[in-house]
Amino acid sequence: MNDKIDFVMIWVDGNDPEWRKEKDKYSNKVDNNTDNREARFRDWDNLQYWFRGVEKFAPWVNKIHFVTCGHLPKWLNTENPKLNIVKHKDFIPEKYLPTFNSHTIELNLHRIKGLAENFVYFNDDLFIVKKTKDTDFFKNNIPCDTAALNANISYRENKNHSQE
C-alpha cells in the first residue's frame, strides 16, 4: 500500500503575449548554450488530453500540482478539488526569477507546498493513455523508476563510472 501520490505538471503557453514580452526582455541575458528554440515553449493545444487521461486512467491520484508562470488555459476547471495551481513565485526562490528554464523549475519542485512525498513529474508531452495503478509508479512507497539531475558530475566522469 502506498501513501498518497501526487502528479506535478509543468506548463507554459509560449503564445501568451505577456509571457513572450517577459521572455524577450531577458533572452539576451541567458547563456548562449541554452536551448531557446520556439518549439521548447510552444503550446500544442493538447493539454486537455493530459488531464482527461489522468481523470480516466489514474483516478487514484491525490493531487495535481499544475506549475505555471501564472497564465492558465481558458478551459481549465480551477475549482477541481484535486487541482493545485502553483506559480513559479510560489516555490522558486526570488533570486532565480523570472525563469524560462525547466531545469530551474525541476530543481525546486520539492519546495511546492503540500506536495506529497511520493509524486510523479510530467511534462506536457507525456500522456497517460491506458489504465494505471499507483503501484505502476511506487511499490511500498519506493519509486519504480527514477531520474536524477546532477550538475556536479561531468559526462566523462559519469561515462567512466558507468563502465566500472
- Reported as a single tens digit per residue, the pLDDT across 19-70 is 889 888 887 765 655 555 554 555 557 899 999 999 999 999 999 999 999 9
The model's pTM: 0.81
- Reported as a single tens digit per residue, the pLDDT across 112-151 is 999 999 999 998 888 999 999 999 999 999 999 866 555 5
Domains in the chain, number: 1
pLDDT score at 162: 46
- The per-residue DSSP string of the chain comes to ----EEEEEE---TT-HHHHHHHHHHHTTS-TTS---GGGT---S-HHHHHHHHHHH-TT---EEEEESS---TT--TT-TTEEEEEHHHHS-GGG-S---HHHHHTTGGGSTT--SEEEEE-TT----S---GGGTEETTEESS-----TTS-HHHHHHHHT-
Please tell me which residue, 84 or 20, carries the higher pLDDT value.
84
Average pLDDT, stretch 5-26? 90
pLDDT score at 10: 95
Please tell me which residue, 91 or 36, carries the higher pLDDT value.
91
Domain of 30, in residue numbers: 5-162
